[in-house]
Structure 1
Amino acid sequence: MPMLLGRPLRAVWLGVAILVCASPLAMAQTREVAPSYQSLLARLEQMPAAIEAAALSEAADARAQQARAIANPSLSWETENIQGSGPYRGFGNAETTVSVTQPLELFGQRSARIGAARADALATGLRSEQMRWRAAGRLAQAYSDAEAASRRYDLAAEALALSEQDARAVALLVEAGREATLRGIQARSETDAARAQLEEARAVRDAAFARLSAIAMLDAPVETLGASLLDTAPASHALDASDPLAVRIAQAEVDAAGQRLTVEQRRARPDLSASMGMRRFRETGDDAFTIGLSVSVPLFDRNRGGVRAAYADQRAAEARLTAQQQEARADRLAAEATLSASMARVRAADSGVGAAEEAYRMARVGFDAGRLSQLELRSTRASLISARNAAVEARLARVRAEIDLAGLEGRAPFGESR
């Protein structure tokens, strides 16, 4: 019996590799492979969120351009002294006037309108930029989630293969009378649990790939990844002395609120219009020019409510700016610390995987030689699978930390600085 159980360790691991990899290799040619994250990032402008951001920015620029338009003139036609009595009977003494009236946007009304539209366009442009980077962050998150789910599935398949292999070894020991029947039952129960975990991991993997296909706007659902993002270490970026994107957005909103306040203040001023026309005297056949000015009198409506509302909006925008300035530095420091800690966590997890692999190798040798029990082998196997899962979680945490930092800095995760 020791000859049966004393298989070379190399052959054991070869068997595990065949069990884990045979099915994926057989299906590799039929699986749809997703482009790399960098390839998908290059197509960011084609994704709905980026298209929406560009459209919003374009609309704001168009409104700013429209704000420069001069008000249209109005054309009027008027006939006087007709269909009356005495000499004004009929149309004999009619006076016909054709005039053109042009509103005059004086008192700074036009400049205030243009300034407000420009400020709104700037704020909208910055918000659109933020939408693009958030879309890039969602893409990176979906890609890393899909890769992590795929790795967890592979680990579950490996755990099942190791559990089945250990169960076979325990069955031989039970047949030889070296282990109790209970140990064989426990081994089969562990195998069944590992098989259920594999099915659960497959469902999670398929859902993650479906979400990636939807977010990346891929033509066909993907089933595997061609390049790794979890193994990509974030590039170091020089500290940008300019304000973070969120602070710049808040500042632009303050400026826009100030411009809207100016518009409301100017709206309370009189509206002035100039007119010029020609009058025709039908009785004598003479012509004469007419000129005129009209001005509104702000007697009842002085737009006081609109001005107060604009003041309140400006104070609210200033409060948001103050809060954003206070939070920006703390958020940046926290994101950098989280990223640094996650990178250290990856290194520690990789070291733990190496130690767990060596422990399982030694436990397997000791079990085959009859020096260790099934419980000790099971414990080292569980530690190995746990260590590998911890390595996946550490890499996923590193990706999330990079996404958070990139969002604060205003750039794409694992991409170039702005």
Structure 2
Amino acid sequence: MSAIHWRGVLLGGLFLAAQATTVAAQERELLTLEAALARAGIVDSADEPPENPRLIGPRAEADAARALVDQARLRPNPEIAFEAENIAGSGAFSGLQATEYTLSLSQRLELGGKRGARVRAAQAEARVATLSGALSVAQLGRSVRERYVEAVAAAARLELARDIVERNRELARIAGVLVDVGREPPLRSLRAEAALAEALAELEAALAADSTARNALAALWGEATPATDVPSVFPEIEPPATLLASPSALRLQVARAEREAADAAIARERSLGIPDPAISAGVRRFEESRDQAFLVGVSIPLPLRNRNQGNIAAAEARLRAATAREAIARTDFELEVTQARGQFLAAEARVETLAETSLPQAEEALRLVRIGYRNGRFPLIEVLAAAEARDTIREALIQAQEDRGRLAATLIWLGAQ
């Protein structure tokens, strides 16, 4: 049998091994990005998913803040008082003959706009809680998209690792056959076995990374078991076409709402520094003469020392801090938008270059090396080198697609309104 015939037969086996796919993996139900977002509670689903613990907290905080608004609208309760005087004394006041009974009703009057200031402060806090809850949902959506992309990248790397193992296993077999028939030196077989061992180790690492990535994804909706298998093809995650650092961005809305809440707290604390009078009215019965009389009264605290000045100063300091945080949030947001947009465009360009130029060129180079190997012009090591170069580009393409997906998720989060 000629050397060219041997090379053609063996290289044909290598090609078939490289093209082999796992049918079982294709038949398994794969988790889509839309399904992952639905499981996390980010988008509506036809099947009502269980409540995500990561969303319960922010929603409960918003509910609590709205309940406090209702509480702030309530006025002070009236007070009823009953007094009995001159009981069981001595002399003329012995027994109950000289007892005086008083029944009165009193009401505290809120002055200085306390109720209005209290309601406005509670409403401002409720707005902060509502916007913070919406921001938490947006952040969870970003995490789901990022971890889904990472899981897809892990699945793609696992698929690549399996292809490399199959190729190296076939190369090791071919090298053994060629050594046996005297077509290659024994060193070639040893190198092929070493490459196979390294590929198997990489496959084990890829399996572990795939499981870890799916676990991390499932944790976002509160499941301890790994998520369903994800495809090895990256989803199309479209970022906002135009993203500007506008005041409508959620992060800036939260910072602004916190500053407005701090401002409302100052008005509330200042109103609390104004004393509230209490008026009372009642009836008194004189047991000795069986007479009755009405009584009215008014009481008011004297703001000699405590005028709530400490709480007012603290609220003013919190406003200064909230104003500074808002300015920082605006500056940081503009920087993050600029950086994320630039990095996304760079990653997109890299994906386009690798997918449309580098990978096709590597595939063509591998095809030509295989033809040359069949014709006896290239040794087996050249086929291995060309395949490794192609796999390196495949890995670079996976990384670029992963970067693009993560940056798209970041841009969607930054554009949340």
TM score, norm. by length of structure 1: 0.90
Q: Which amino acid aligns with 2:66?
A: D
Whether 1:41 and 2:47 are equivalent positions in the alignment is no
For residues 126 and 298 of structure 1, the distance between their equivalents in structure 2, rounded to whole angstroms, comes to 38
Superposed counterparts of 1:332-343, under 5 Å: 332-343=337-348
5 Å matches for 1:7-406? 7=9, 12-18=14-20, 21=21, 24-26=22-24, 31=28, 33-45=29-41, 46-217=51-222, 221-225=226-230, 228=233, 230-239=234-243, 241-351=246-356, 352-406=358-412
Kindly tell me: are residues 259 and 236 of structure 1, through their superposed partners in 2, closer, same or farther at Cα, counting changes over 3 Å? closer
1:180-217 deviation per Cα after TM superposition (whole angstroms, max 9, x unaligned): 22122111100111011111111111222222223234
Q: Secondary structure, in 3 states, of the residue corresponding to 1:309?
A: helix
CA distance in 2, matches of 1:226, 1:188: 31
User: For 1:242 and 1:169, how far apart are their aligned partners in 2?
Assistant: 65
Which residue, out of 5, 8, 12, partners 1:6? 8
Deviations 1:244-272 (A, max 9, x none): 21111111111111111222222222132
Structure 2, unmatched stretches of 5+, are 42-50
What one-letter code is carried by the residue in structure 2 that aligns with 1:67?
A
Q: CA, structure 1 residues 239+206, in 2 after alignment: closer, same or farther (shift >3 Å)?
A: closer
The one-letter code matched in structure 1 to 2:250 is L
SS in 2 for 1:277: strand
Aligned length: 404
TM-superposed CA distance for 1:368, in Å, is 3.0
Residue pair 1:367, 1:377 contacting (<8 A) in 2 also? yes
Letter in 2 for 1:64: V
Matched-pair contact (CA < 8 Å) for 1:167–1:184: yes
Cα pair distance change 1:83/1:231, threshold 3 Å: closer
Measure how far apart 1:10 and its partner are: 6.6
Q: Distance in 2 between matches of 1:155 and 1:34?
A: 18
- How far apart, CA to CA, are the structure 1 residues paired with 2:297 and 2:231? 76
* CA deviation string 1:283-334 (max 9, x = no partner): 2222222211111111122222222211111111011111112222222222
- Report % sequence identity: 31
Question: Per the alignment, in what secondary structure is the counterpart of residue 9 of structure 2?
Answer: coil
Could you say what secondary structure the match of 1:76 adopts? strand
Q: Distance in 2 between matches of 1:219 and 1:314?
A: 42
Cα-to-partner distance string for 1:22-53 (whole Å, 9 max, x where unaligned): xx324666x5x353221232344332212222
Q: Which residue of 1 aligns with 2:45?
A: none
Superposition CA RMSD, Å: 2.2
Q: Is the 8 A contact 1:37 1:227 kept in 2?
A: no
Change (3 A) 1:350 1:103: same
Distance 2:284 2:372 in 1: 116
What SS does the aligned partner of 2:82 have?
strand
CA distance in 2, matches of 1:3, 1:17: 21
Q: How much has 1:8 moved relative to structure 2?
A: 8.9
Retained in 2: the 8 A contact 1:78–1:96?
yes
Specify the SS of the correspondent of 1:154. helix
Q: Which residue of 2 aligns with 1:409?
A: 415
Contact 1:34 1:222 in 2 (8 A): no
Counterpart of 1:234 in structure 2: which amino acid? E
